[in-house]
Amino acid sequence: MDHRKAQITVFIILGLAVLLAASLFFFVRHRLALFSPDELLPPEIVPVKTYIDRCLETVSREAIVLAGLQGGYADVPDRVKRRISYLQFDRRLDFGVPYWYYYGGNQYPSLSEVKENLEARITREVQACADLSVFEDQFDIVVTGTIRTEVLLGDSDVTVRLTYPLQIDNKLSTQRTKMKNFVYVAPLRLKHLYTLALRILEAENKETFLENMTFDLMVLQPKIPIEDVQFTCTRRIDMIANIRSIFKELMSYNLADVRIRNTRHSQFLEGDKEFAKNHFAWDIGLSPGEYPDVTVDFTYDTDWPLHMHITPNEGARLRAEPMRLFGTLPLCYLHYHYTYNIDYPVLVSISDFDTPKHEAYEFQFVTPVLLNNNRADRSNVPGFFEMEIIPTYDTAFCDEFQKKRITITASNRATNERINYVNVSAQCLQYLCPVGRVEPWRGTYELVADVPDCGAVTLIGTREGYSEGRTEIDTDIE
């Protein structure tokens, strides 16, 4: 009986050993299938692969960082550049930070656009980085197919798969090696921060939090006149330039206090806690634990643009006159009511902290804050925005912005006859660029010149003895 029990025990132990060995075999085979290299390379070829791996890492990280700093675009598209819908302030950037909301509509890139934009830049920059001639003393290296990149935006990282098909012939032997697959994984949470940026924009479009906060602060600032009744016989005069300066300082100082609930941020000061909670604490619906390692900052710099139009006005100033209550008695009241149309940019910066699972990363975009007749209004931008534009000559813009060549003629509006010696300028939003002069040319009067290729362009013609002429053109149309 005891002998039989001993046999059963041995068989059980042997059975467990076989099961464990089989499990280990399948586990190891699975791991090898996941992580074994696609190509087994001779030792002398390894430096070539290492060289391309390093290029891929360098250009991939640069592209991913730029995508974060430029609102999801590693390369800012021409359509954004032409419309001047970006904020230029950071020398680290190729171009600027695009507006995610512009002229009454969203214009942020989809995740697929972010992915495709990264793929195009990395494919281009890898070829510029990988100078394979450095190996020409030892190898003949030929690119045998199409170079392409696939980017996978994960929740906690970005995977870059590069197909770079190479045929490598060793000059010191008859050995030929083929190689094509390269992979880099960046522990940067681009997708995670992009998703939060989109939620912030959607909340702002729905709730107009920034507009409401802006107007509340204006009402609380006595140096920004909005509406009041005072018993005084003294007129009130406010210079618009001073109001603009006060507004800029007010927004620059207070926007830094805005907090997104359930993100990582400093606590409000004890003395300001109740006021801050009512005006600067923004609940966009994040759950606790969704973004514990992420901070969100809102910035407006006093050097950035501000479009402000105040009604009524007397050009550069506002004036309110007192009214007498009873004839000649020195009893007066002063009543004024001003409406403001305002457009200013806010930079939204989302920062990921460094943890054992991922590295620090930053994502940012720009949204305008829009007031129309003292009310939040994110739909009627063109109407009051054009009213405020004061075009100025900007040499840097005119010299550096991409151009389109056009032919310009000028006519007398009354007789429709061609006229010459007309000075022409081109206006793109607030920028004014000199274009040239219409002069006699091959039996007619015309000017062939370059204008900024910014989509909607206003051509302005002036000549002594004539009233100014204006016409709109669309540089997107051939």
Indicate the pLDDT class of residue 340, thresholds 50, 70 and 90: very high
The CB density around residue 80, as the number of other CB atoms within 10 Å, is 20
pLDDT for the residue 33: 36
Average pLDDT of the chain to the nearest whole number: 84
Rounded CA gap, 340 and 318, in Å?
12
What mean pLDDT comes out for the span 360-389? 77
Tell me, what amino acid is at 164?
Y
Residue 14 reports pLDDT greater than 50: no
Residue 271 reports pLDDT greater than 80: no
Question: In Å, what is the CA distance from 418 to each residue of 412, 422, 472, 477?
Answer: 6, 10, 18, 24
pLDDT for the residue 1: 47
pLDDT for the residue 477: 61
Lowest mean pLDDT among 87-96, 238-247, 349-358, 373-382: 87-96
Tell me, what amino acid is at 50?
T
Q: Determine what percent of the chain is predicted with pLDDT higher than 90.
A: 51
Residue 215 reports pLDDT greater than 50: yes
pLDDT for the residue 329: 67
Residue 225 reports pLDDT greater than 50: yes
Q: Hey, what are 192's tokens?
A: 């995670």
Residue 134 reports pLDDT greater than 50: yes
Lowest mean pLDDT among 263-272, 274-283, 421-430, 436-445: 263-272
203, 263 contact by CB (below 8 A): no
Bridge partners (DSSP) of residue 323 are: 333
Q: Hey, what are 283's tokens?
A: 């609940």
Residue 22 reports pLDDT greater than 60: no
Q: Hey, what are 306's tokens?
A: 């501000």
Sole residue written with tokens 């100014």: 468
pLDDT for the residue 94: 58
Lowest mean pLDDT among 25-34, 61-70, 289-298: 25-34
What mean pLDDT comes out for the span 267-277? 64
Residue 8 reports pLDDT greater than 90: no
User: pLDDT for 45-94, tens place per residue?
Assistant: 899 999 999 999 999 999 999 999 999 999 988 877 776 678 877 665 65
Residues 6+ apart with CB under 8 A from 189: 155, 156, 157, 352, 358, 361
Residue 344 reports pLDDT greater than 80: yes
What mean pLDDT comes out for the span 268-291? 78
What mean pLDDT comes out for the span 276-280? 76
Residue 164 reports pLDDT greater than 50: yes
pLDDT for the residue 82: 72
Rounded CA gap, 104 and 87, in Å?
17
pLDDT for the residue 362: 96
**Which element (helix H / strand E) includes 214?**
helix 209-220
Residue 401 reports pLDDT greater than 70: yes
Return the exposure string of 393-419: e unless at least 16 CB atoms fall within 10 Å of the residue's CB, then b.
eeeebbeebebeebebebeeeeeeeeb
How many residues are recorded in the chain?
A: 478
Rounded CA gap, 165 and 180, in Å?
4
Tell me, what amino acid is at 215?
F
Residue 17 reports pLDDT greater than 60: no
Bond before 312 cis per omega within 30 degrees? yes
The CB density around residue 94, as the number of other CB atoms within 10 Å, is 12
Question: In Å, what is the CA distance from 34 to each residue of 23, 37, 38, 115, 466?
Answer: 17, 9, 10, 24, 77
Q: Hey, what are 369's tokens?
A: 């804050």
Residues 6+ apart with CB under 8 A from 100: 71, 106, 107, 108, 197, 201, 365, 366, 367
Give start and end residues of each alpha helix (H) in 329-468.
381-388, 395-400
Residue 28 reports pLDDT greater than 50: no
User: pLDDT for 35-54, tens place per residue?
Assistant: 334 457 888 889 999 999 99
Rounded CA gap, 280 and 296, in Å?
12
Q: Hey, what are 261's tokens?
A: 């609930």
pLDDT for the residue 194: 97
What mean pLDDT comes out for the span 395-423? 83
Residues 6+ apart with CB under 8 A from 21: none
What mean pLDDT comes out for the span 2-14? 48
Rounded CA gap, 471 and 478, in Å?
17
